[in-house]
């Protein structure tokens, strides 16, 4: 395949066409913050964390869903982008009830890490403090909607990789929630195979296994990526 030239953060690169800006950046160790992206499942460009500036285009583009084109000039770390990354991160925290100190994921949470990276030390937006359910009905796993950031990685991994499609989304706006089957308890699901993939795909402490103590959870989203790759290779 013919390579095409692009300029990212003033670095000249020769890259494969048909790749997303995110893929290219990751290959060249240029950091892009992401949340809804998980390598191996479809990108939906919903969290808006991976925004980059592309010369000639006024609006910011999501790196995970935008393909590189020849001579594209991309900036990934301008003040404008940093500003939005921080706003987005603060909104994640303001939308639900995140109390890291008592979370199973404390120390191994993509949201917490994002907070550190974007330098969030206070939240400038009013917390919504929504009433959220904690579904403990599954024999092995817990779904705590207080900690969900609606990245829908669980929905996609369950549908695309496991093929079970237990999860989906209900409602709109601030009322959106992840649901199992007909918004029925997870433990009563007729579709879930209890494979645990959603747990590993989930970037926060929203989905966790019962057999774990607070702050001890280590998730392995890379396992999903590997699984997808292995499945492609399988003869």
Partner 1 sequence: MKSDTAVPVKDAPKTDPRLKLIAARIKKENYKPDALIEILHTAQGAYGYLPIEVLTYIAKALHLPPSRVFSTVTFYHFFSLKSKGEHTCIVCTGTACYVKGAQAILNKLEQQFALKPGQVTKDNKLGVQVARCIGACGLAPAVVIDNDVQGKVNVEEIIQSINEKTGIL
Applying CB under 8 A, which residues contact partner 1?
Answer: 159, 164-172, 179-184, 190-191
Near ligand FES in 22-61, by CB under 6 A: 34-37, 45-50
From the list ligand FES, partner 1, ligand SF4, none, partner contacted by residue 157 (C-beta under 5 to 8 A by kind): ligand SF4
Residue with smaller CB distance to ligand SF4, 30 or 186: 186
Residue 164 Cβ vs partner 1, minimum distance, rounded to whole Å: 8
Provide the binding-site residues for ligand SF4, judged by CB under 6 A.
148-154, 157-158, 162, 164, 166-167, 178, 192-198, 201-204, 206-207
Helix or strand run (H / E) with residue 79: helix 79-95
- Is residue 82 within 8 Å of residue 33, measured between CB atoms? no
From the list ligand FES, ligand SF4, partner 1, none, partner contacted by residue 198 (C-beta under 5 to 8 A by kind): ligand SF4
177 binds ligand FES (CB under 6 A): no
With 0-12 / 13-18 / 19 or more C-beta atoms within 10 angstroms meaning exposed / middle / buried, residue 141 is buried
- Is residue 113 within 8 Å of residue 149, measured between CB atoms? no
Q: Is 228 strand, coil or helix? A: helix
Residue with smaller CB distance to partner 1, 183 or 229: 183
Instruction: Give the number of C-alpha atoms closer than 13 A to the C-alpha of residue 100, restricted to the C-beta side.
Output: 12
Residue with smaller CB distance to ligand FES, 50 or 103: 50
Q: Which of 189, 113, 198, 184 shows the shortest CA–CA distance to 155?
A: 198
- Is residue 150 within 8 Å of residue 178, measured between CB atoms? yes
Q: Would you tell me which residues interact with ligand FES (CB under 6 A)?
A: 34-37, 45-50, 62, 64
């Amino acid at each position: 395949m013919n390579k095409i030239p692009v300029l990212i953060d003033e670095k000249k690169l020769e890259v494969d066409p048909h790749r997303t800006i995110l893929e290219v950046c990751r290959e060249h160790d240029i950091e892009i913050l992401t949340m809804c992206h998980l390598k191996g499942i479809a990108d939906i460009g919903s969290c808006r964390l991976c925004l980059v500036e592309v010369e000639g285009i006024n609006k910011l583009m999501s790196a995970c869903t935008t393909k590189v084109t020849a001579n594209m000039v991309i900036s990934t770390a301008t003040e404008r982008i940093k500003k939005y990354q921080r706003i987005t991160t603060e909104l994640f925290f303001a939308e639900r009830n995140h109390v890291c100190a008592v979370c199973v994921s404390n120390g191994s949470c993509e949201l917490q890490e994002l907070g550190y990276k974007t330098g969030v030390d206070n939240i400038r937006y009013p917390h919504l403090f929504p009433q959220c359910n904690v579904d403990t009905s599954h024999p092995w796993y817990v779904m705590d909607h207080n900690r969900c950031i609606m990245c829908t990685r669980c929905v996609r991994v369950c549908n695309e990789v496991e093929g079970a499609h237990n999860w989906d989304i209900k409602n709109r706006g601030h009322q959106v929630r992840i649901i199992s089957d007909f918004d029925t308890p997870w433990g009563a699901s007729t579709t879930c195979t209890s494979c645990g993939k959603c747990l590993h795909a989930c970037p926060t402490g929203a989905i966790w296994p019962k057999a774990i103590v607070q702050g001890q959870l280590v998730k392995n989203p890379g396992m999903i990526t590997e699984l997808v790759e292995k499945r492609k290779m399988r003869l």
